[in-house]
Every structure is written in C-alpha cells, then in structure tokens.
Structure 1
C-alpha cells in the first residue's frame, strides 16, 4: 500500500511557449525525472524547480512541502522555501555589487573601514574581497545561537577572535564573511538589510514573494524544514539556520524565503547584466556588466585548486554541482536546506532547485540529486537541438 505521501505526489508544470526552443513535452518531462526518483526514495518530500532557457521559463512542482503525521501539504509552483545560503548570492552579493557600482565601496577596502571593531593588527588586512571569496581567515562558523548576544556583541566577538589562517592563503567556506557583509550593507544604504533587499532587488525585479521573516499568514505556502527537539515542532516559516534565527531572521548569510519563479527572475538579471545573449537582455540590469563579470571571474588566483568568484562557486571548484554538461562558464551556489541556483551563460541557461531535504533529517544528502538534475536539464536541451 502506498504511503499518504506517495498518494499525494501531485505535479504541476508550466511550460509557457517552450515549444519555440525545440523542447518537446517528452524532453521536458525527462528533466524532472531525478526529482521524482528522489521523492520516491524519500530523499526529499517534494520540490519546486524552474529553468530559464533562451529566455523561456519552464516550471515544475511535485511531492509535498509538509510531510508530517498531523499535516500534509502539496508542493506547488508558488511554494516558498527557506533558501538558506542562497541568501549569500541572491541578496548580499548583489547589494554589495550595487554599492560597488555606486562608488560607495571598493573590493580592496579593509573591513575595518566600515566596522571600526576590526581596527586590530590581525584583522586590518581583511578586505571585502576576502569576505566575498571565503578567504578571510575565519573558520566556517561559530555558535552564536546559544549565546544571548546582540549583533554588536557578535561583532565584538569576531573582532577579538583569532583568525584560523592568514587572509588570502586558504579558502574555507564561511558564514562569517557574509554575516559581516550583512552588517556593512545597512550602514552604506542607510536602512536594514531586508529593507535594502526589497528596495534595490526584489521590487525592481518583480520578486514579489521574496523576503525575510515571512508573516504568519504566509505559513500555508511555506515548506517546512527540520524537526526541532527543543520546540517539539518543525521549523515552518521561521529560518532554519540557527545563527540567522538568533539574529532575528535577517542576516547576510541566511534568512531569505523565496519561490523558484522569483529566483529565476533573479537569474535572468544575471544573464542580462553580463550581456550574454539578446534574449536575456529585456529585464532590468541592476548590475553593471563589469561588476557582474568580476563576480563570476576567479578571485582565488593563488589557490589553483580553488575556483571561487565573488560569492559564486565557479565550474570545477570542489563545491561545484553543475554536472557533466554545463559549460566552463557555469557558476552557482547551494543552500543547506536543499536549495540551489546554477547558471550557464554559454547555453543561456539558469536552473533553480528548491527542496526541503532536511525535513527527513539533516543527514539526507542531495549532492548527487543536484548534479543528476542539472545533467537531466542539460541533456534535454542538447537533445532538442539535434
């Protein structure tokens, strides 16, 4: 007998005018097969995905957004997901680049120019570029959530904490750099991070469903994440990341909730900002081409085994999950909750995958699912051109 979850595996698709790209319904259907298999294997309860190809939007949703004994809710094209670390590249990075375009900062500026707490001998060499490329000297993270610290106390702690390595000599993926950027951005825009994101990103791009700290009224649209032993309930509409939660739900490293469609509009902006193809160039270009290109250019030249841009993971890095068929120009990022955003300018392609893989426990790995999904999308596109 099928479980209630399996009985509820309804699907939604929206292909628009995809036929103009040569993609048949059969090829489109094959794109989502890795997601169906992952749901069947109970790796994920459900997913909402979106693909942008040659300017055409393709969308899919299947499975469940909530799968608990007392509640089952289907995942839909409009389901909001906790984006986790996609916040880094979908909020914090573009806001920094907008400030760069406005001349309000430079990548080589020392962090201490904006955070006086860092006027210390061991911190004076850390630049904004180091924070963005995960080469700042900080470890991956610290425990702020079990401490009753204010944001200022967190800054004071980070200013005093010894670095793990000399900035620029290693690459250790770290939330800390983006937490600090999330404190710098409001000082330069003159408004809180979430307000700056709404004014300078979400509203101009039409990302109407994106934001921090969703209201209780939006809860029915939100995918639940992980079960909490402390609260004896699932995190549902409250950010999953502990440190972001301790910071009030708004941070430079996590806290964004969004739909796949909204993130696809954000991806469209990146293709347009880089002036890659005419078909992508009809959306607002919030970033100058030089700023966009710099962000997707290797920022770790002294570390040959590392391929990091500003925020973005570039093709060939150890964290790259773009798969076998994305070009060498591909770049992207993932989020701990089971989210990812990948772009391939050469193929005029962007792929959003939103899942709540921690719903069944954080030991669930979706690394292979991400690469399999990207491969399935790219394979369908290649087949459409034969």
Structure 2
C-alpha cells in the first residue's frame, strides 16, 4: 500500500495607533523548578544542537513547553526583536490609510522553551466595515491569551481526528470515501479516497456558497455530498474546503460523535488546551479577537468568521476552531514529540510521520502531508525545509512546526478586522519565521568567523595568486540554505574582467556544512559570487576555511591570513 511504503521510506530518512506591545515574562520559579534547562532525556548531542540551524535533528523531541528567553536556548535575540518590531509596524496605518492588521500575538519556541510571547495592537479596534476606529476607551488591546478564530488551521484538528480513527482501525486511508459515506459516491466521486481528501487531490471544488444557496444544515451537507469533481481524482492539487467538510461528516458517521466532541476528547482535553474548541462560551468574549464586519451579522466576534462554517452551526471540518497562541504551541510541541506532550499521547509516532510525509510529489510546489502543508516558503520563510510542516488561516493565523530545529512559530492576527480586503499578511508571516531562523546560529566550521553575503549580495575574492603551477587545488567549507533561484557561484578569474564558473551552489533543506575540494586550471583570482533571485530567501550561505594550493605549497590559507580575502557585499560573522 502506498501509505505504508511512504511511511517506511520516511522513517528511514528521519530516524495607540499600534497599541501596547507586551513581551513574555521570564520563567517563574515554578516553571524552572518543574522544568530545568536540561531535560532528563537530553543527550550531549541534543544540548550541542540547541540554538543551531546547522545541526539538523533526526527523530522526535521529548520536551515539555516552559517559559524562558532566547538566550536560554542559544538563540540570538536580535533577529527576534527585529521580527517583533516588524509585526508591530504592520499594526500602524501605512500609505493605504490603514494597517495590515489590527493586532497580533507572536509566539516562538525552541527546544521546548517559549522564548517569545509578545503582543501588538488591538483585539478590537474598529466599529464598522469602513474602518471607523472606536474610541480608545472602547478598544480591546491584544493580550498573550487572546483567543483567535483559527480559520483553516482548523483543518489540522479534523485531520488529527481522522488519523486517530485510522489508528483505531476504523478507517482505511486508501479506501473510497463512499465506503463510509455511500451518499458521497455519486457524480464521479466513487473512487475518491480518504487520503485524497487529506491531501487535496480529490478534484473537488474549492468552495460552495452553502450559507447563501441552501436553507438549512441538512441541505448544505447534501450539497457537499452531491458535488461533481472539478478534475479527475488524483490528477491535480486543488485546495478545497469541501474535502475537510466531508471528513468531518465521515468521522461523525463512523464514531457516532460530532466533530467538536471528537476534537475535545481526542485533542484538547488530553493536551490541556483550555481555550481551544468550537463556539467559545460567551464568558470568554472579552478575550476574543474581533474579525470582520459582515452586513447583517455586524462585527463578528466570538462566532466563526467563515460563513459556511457559521451556517453549519459553527462546527465544520474546514473551519470553526478558536484557540490561543499558547494552546497552538502545545499542539505544535506534541507534533515535534511524535504525538504526545506531558505524557499525554494523541497520536502514535508512526502516524505523525505519515501526516508529515509528502504525498504530493507529483504536484511540485504543493507538498502536502495528511493534513499538514509542507515546504511552503511563502509563509514558512527561512524555516522552510521538506520536513517543515504547518498551516495558515484566512483570518490571519499561522502555525509553523520545524522538526529539523525543534522550533515552533505562531503568528495570530485579526487581519480581516474589519475587512478582508485590506491586504495579504504573508510578509508578516515570513518576517516571524525568518526572525526565528536567523536567531538560530550557523557556527563557523573553523576559527571564530565565517563569511556570509549581505542581502544585496556581492563577491568574496582571493588575493592575486602566484602563477607557478598549471593547476590549483581549491578547498573551502560551505553552508547553503537558499531559496530556489538564489545561488552562490565559485568562479575563476584571469586578473581582468573574465570569469569562468567552477561550481554553483543552490541547495536548501539539508542544513549541513560540506567540504568542497576541486582541482582546476590555475587562475589569478577565485571568488564566490552571490546572486539574489526573486524568491523569498532562505537562511543564507556561509563560506569558511578557504585554502588554495598548488604543487609547490599553500597560496591562500584564509584562516591564517584573513587579509587574503577581499569582501564586497560579504561580511564576517561569528554565527
């Protein structure tokens, strides 16, 4: 079976305008007493990897989330502070006359330590769809425990429920959905599998106007069951809310329990997620971020923003879950731990591996596991790798889980407050992920420093070399984590304007130093040319331990003689 083969293969690989800004408090004595810096399960290697981007992890973490600081786990606080400042700036009106979003909560965690839990702006700021600001006394500032409508991040909760039923033997991922929902198997859908719903390869329409075109919940569910596929199952990636609505109905059918009960019993109660669930109680309204002003509904706050989920009673497979940044971080840590947190297990490790396996390799750019999106640099930024998992939500929410660095990035905004038409928050999503990635160090391979290009790029060039042999041996260590389209090229020059390419480096995702050695026709100079592409950028490139020799001996040893390299658009760094 494809599912089992994929799991086996992967297991082999992966053994006022802006409002107040509040930073996370330092760890309390209770936190530190219960959870010291070093977990009793840590190995020496685990400890050495802390705060490092260039030492990717394999296997599962075994951490319990606790409060701390970036320095506590070896992170550089500077890039994180820069990212938080960028988020804050997005809450200030720009040339458009309005901010990108009214407010935000940002949470970053590494090695089980919540290093950052900061707020900016307002949970409630506007009175109407036109953006009329409420008097300051009536606004509600963001707080660390503000509750957000997660929108499509809800799909992860539905997916986990599905995978729990698969673990219990009640569900076969490769089986036709019609085996469990016979009414679904009409109009060309008889062969659609559960897996195809989870990976958005079913061919179903992205969306139907259930809330406006159908009078009640039964007719809305029937419309989903009756829909005709947009494309043949398995032939295309089409992101569709209908996939997850169908899975919500399916899980209720096979368990006899509604989706909100399954989420509560299987996820939120075991993990202790006190503020996560559907249809939050009125008692929590003052903690809930407002979303959009929607005509007859008015300013939506405390009810699900998505009209279809609202029309289905607030509980649907594609939307409806509310949560906090802290609760989402616990879920993220449970994923990093292979399905458990504080000894409470919601999934088996093999199941988590399946959920983080790319089932969509035939659809480049649309990597997708069983519920999780994978390898999506447009919001995962420099944390991106083929193993990085996450999801976004239309209301302005983001969760990124990076197993290679044991890190979590959460950005929750109310970007649809008061209007969904105020712009994309993807730059803010990348800023947060990039801040965490840049806070993780890349340790020089030899000596105290290495060379890395600045944002604009440039060249790192050797001094003029004696021409005493016909061939040169060029050696250097290099770390490369670049966006497709970015590249570093080692070139040889004749002392003038002519350069020939020797080696192009453009990889990402491995996060490892490698030693490059090549023998080439003697040149007057060698240089490393950084070429910035049009993509989103990666963690960067580092060059270290440069050495050039010929048959008679060493011509350049940059570790002994740093002046033998001339940097233009490159800089010397210690991490």
State the TM-score, normalized to the length of structure 1.
0.91
Q: Which of 145, 152, 167 is residue 78 of structure 1 equivalent to?
A: 145
Q: Work out whether 1:337 is the aligned partner of 2:348.
A: no
What is the match of residue 209 of structure 1?
A: 275
SS of equivalent to 1:50:
strand
Q: Work out whether 1:200 is the aligned partner of 2:200.
A: no
Change (3 A) 1:63 1:258: same
Greater relative contact order (Cα < 8 A, sep 6+):
1
Moved more, 354-363 or 283-292: 283-292
Give the C-alpha shift of residue 152 in structure 1.
3.0
Higher helix share: 1
Change (3 A) 1:87 1:381: same
SS of equivalent to 1:130:
helix
What is the match of residue 84 of structure 2?
A: 32
What is the match of residue 92 of structure 1?
A: 158
CA RMSD of aligned residues (A): 2.1
Preserved CA contact (<8 Å) 2:271 2:341 = no
Give the C-alpha shift of residue 24 in structure 1.
5.7
1:320-366 C-alpha deviation (Å, 9 max, x unpaired): 41113433321111000000101110000011111000114212210
Alignment of 1:242-257 (within 5 A): 242-257=307-322
State the TM-score, normalized to the length of structure 2.
0.62
Q: Work out whether 1:377 is the aligned partner of 2:377.
A: no
What is the match of residue 277 of structure 1?
A: none
Give the C-alpha shift of residue 50 in structure 1.
1.3
What is the match of residue 17 of structure 2?
A: 5
SS of equivalent to 2:24:
strand
1:125-166 C-alpha deviation (Å, 9 max, x unpaired): 111111101111111100000134443323322333321100
Q: Work out whether 1:45 is the aligned partner of 2:109.
A: no
Paired with 2:282 and 2:342, the residues of 1 have a C-alpha distance of: 35
Moved more, 125-134 or 186-195: 186-195
Paired with 2:77 and 2:441, the residues of 1 have a C-alpha distance of: 15
1:163-209 C-alpha deviation (Å, 9 max, x unpaired): 11001100111000000011111223321111111111001001011
Alignment of 1:51-70 (within 5 A): 51-58=108-115, 59-68=117-126, 69=134
Preserved CA contact (<8 Å) 1:308 1:314 = yes
What is the match of residue 20 of structure 1?
A: 72
**Segments ≥4 residues shifted beyond 4 Å:** 24-28, 280-283
User: What count of residue pairs does the alignment treat as equivalent?
Assistant: 373
1:45-93 C-alpha deviation (Å, 9 max, x unpaired): 111121220010131112110002153001001100000000001x101
1:247-290 C-alpha deviation (Å, 9 max, x unpaired): 0000000000100000000001100116xxxxx97553321111
Q: Work out whether 1:134 is the aligned partner of 2:205.
A: no
SS of equivalent to 1:374:
helix
What is the match of residue 380 of structure 2?
A: 322
Paired with 2:220 and 2:341, the residues of 1 have a C-alpha distance of: 41
Give the C-alpha shift of residue 103 in structure 1.
1.0
Preserved CA contact (<8 Å) 1:169 1:302 = no
Change (3 A) 1:284 1:82: same
Q: Work out whether 1:259 is the aligned partner of 2:270.
A: no
Give the C-alpha shift of residue 25 in structure 1.
5.2
Give the C-alpha shift of residue 118 in structure 1.
2.0
SS of equivalent to 2:416:
helix
Give the C-alpha shift of residue 121 in structure 1.
5.9
Change (3 A) 1:213 1:282: closer
Q: Mind listing any 5+ residue stretches in structure 2 that lack a counterpart?
A: 1-15, 27-66, 94-98, 127-133, 444-573
Give the C-alpha shift of residue 11 in structure 1.
1.9
Give the C-alpha shift of residue 309 in structure 1.
1.2
SS of equivalent to 1:354:
strand
Preserved CA contact (<8 Å) 1:96 1:185 = yes
Paired with 2:187 and 2:123, the residues of 1 have a C-alpha distance of: 49
Higher strand share: 2
Preserved CA contact (<8 Å) 1:35 1:369 = yes
Change (3 A) 1:25 1:65: same
Paired with 2:185 and 2:318, the residues of 1 have a C-alpha distance of: 23
Paired with 2:209 and 2:159, the residues of 1 have a C-alpha distance of: 23
Q: Work out whether 1:367 is the aligned partner of 2:426.
A: yes
Moved more, 208-217 or 23-32: 23-32
Give the C-alpha shift of residue 31 in structure 1.
3.8
What is the match of residue 352 of structure 2?
A: 292
Change (3 A) 1:382 1:283: farther
For the pair shown, the structure with the greater C-alpha radius of gyration is 2
Paired with 1:151 and 1:167, the residues of 2 have a C-alpha distance of: 26
Moved more, 358-367 or 337-346: 358-367
Preserved CA contact (<8 Å) 1:12 1:76 = no
Paired with 1:240 and 1:159, the residues of 2 have a C-alpha distance of: 23
Preserved CA contact (<8 Å) 2:354 2:370 = yes
Paired with 1:205 and 1:185, the residues of 2 have a C-alpha distance of: 20
